[in-house]
Chain A
Amino acid sequence: MKIARHKYVGLQKRKARAGYMFILPFIIGFLVFMVKPLFQSLYMSFCNVELGAGSFRQTFTGLTNYRFAFLVDPEYNRLVVEEISRMMVYSLAIIVFSFFVALILNQKFHGRAFVRAIFFLPVILSSGVILGLEENNQLMAAIAQTIEQGTSGISITAALENILRTAGVGVRAYETLFEVIDNIYDVAIASGIQIIIFLSGLQSVSSNMYEAADIEGCTKWESLWKITFPMVSSLFLVNWIYTVVDFCMRSDNGVIKKIQTVMIDQQQYGNASAMSWIYFVIVLAFVGVTSMLISKRVYYYD
Chain B
Amino acid sequence: MTELTAKAFKASAAAGKEKKRESTAGGDYNSLSFFERNRLSGGYLLRKRVTEKGVSIIRAVMLFGMCFMILQPILNKISVSFMTESDLYNPIVISIPEHFTTENYRLAAELMNYSKALSNSFIVSLTIALLQITVCTLVGYGFARFEFPFKKLWFAFVILVILIPPQTIASSLHLHFRFFDILGLFKLTTGKTINLRGSALPYYLMSAGCMGLKNGLYIYMIRQFFRNIPGDLEEAAYVDGCGMLKTFVRIMLPQATPILTSCFLFSFVWQWTDGFYSKMFLGNTKLVSTSLARIVDSLSAYIQRINGVKTTISIAYSNCILATGTLMIIMPLIILYLFAQKAFVESISSTGIKM
Contact = CB atoms under 8 A, between A and B. Distances in A.
A139 B59 CA distance: 32
Which of A129, A199, A272 neighbours the largest number of chain B CB atoms within 10 Å of its CB? A129
Contact of B173 (A37, A184, A249): A37
A128 B270 contact: yes
B166 interface: yes
B159 to A, nearest CB: 9
A130 interface: yes
Nearest to B165: A249
- Interface SS of chain B: helix
Contacts of B219: 26
Which of B80, B143, B290, B352 neighbours the largest number of chain A CB atoms within 10 Å of its CB? B352
Contacts of A3: none
B169 A22 contact: no
A56 B73 CA distance: 46
Contact of A122 (B70, B139, B143): B70
A80 interface: no
Given A22-B142, A101-B66, A124-B334, A129 B274 contact: yes
Contact of A196 (B66, B174, B274, B345): B345
Nearest to B320: A139
Interface string B130-159: 000001001101110111110100100110
Given A138-B315, A200-B353, A234-B354, A263 B209 contact: no
Given A121-B337, A129-B289, A238 B355 contact: yes
Contacts of B145: 19
Contact of B164 (A40, A109, A234, A280): A280
A140 to B, nearest CB: 7
B289 to A, nearest CB: 5
Contacts of B319: 137-140
Nearest to A248: B165
Contact of B168 (A41, A107, A200, A201): A41
A259 interface: yes
A177 interface: no
B187 to A, nearest CB: 10
A129 B349 contact: no
Interface string A15-57: 1111111110111111011101110110010000000001110
Given A22-B141, A201-B355, A287-B163, A115 B63 contact: yes
Given A119-B67, A196-B345, A259-B167, A139 B172 contact: no
Contacts of B316: 138-139, 142
B274 A127 contact: yes
| Residues of A in contact with B, size category | 35 or more
B169 A19 contact: no
B220 to A, nearest CB: 9
A289 interface: no
Given A122-B70, A200-B355, A280-B164, A16 B148 contact: yes
B158 A130 contact: no
B346 A113 contact: yes
A200 B276 contact: no
A277 B355 contact: no
B62 A104 contact: yes
- Interface SS of chain A: helix
Contacts of A99: none
Contact of A36 (B80, B176, B244, B350): B176
7 tightest Cβ-Cβ pairs between the two chains A and B: A29-B209, A22-B142, A19-B146, A128-B273, A204-B352, A139-B319, A129-B275
23 contacts: A15-B244, A17-B148, A22-B138, A25-B135, A38-B164, A115-B63, A121-B70, A128-B275, A128-B289, A130-B330, A138-B316, A143-B76, A188-B66, A189-B70, A200-B351, A201-B355, A204-B354, A249-B165, A251-B275, A256-B167, A269-B171, A276-B171, A277-B168
Interface of B: 3-4, 7, 56, 59-60, 62-63, 66-67, 69-71, 73-74, 76, 80, 88, 91, 94, 135, 138-139, 141-143, 145-149, 151, 154, 157-158, 161-176, 178-179, 192, 205-206, 208-211, 217, 219, 244-245, 248, 266, 269-270, 272-276, 289-290, 292-293, 315-316, 319-320, 322-323, 326, 329-330, 333-334, 337, 341-342, 344-346, 348-355
Interface of A: 12, 14-23, 25-30, 32-34, 36-38, 40-41, 44, 54-56, 101, 104, 107, 109, 113, 115-125, 127-130, 132-134, 137-140, 142-143, 146, 184-185, 188-189, 196-197, 199-201, 203-204, 217, 219, 234-235, 238, 241-242, 245, 248-249, 251, 256, 259-260, 263, 269, 272-273, 276-277, 279-280, 283-284, 287
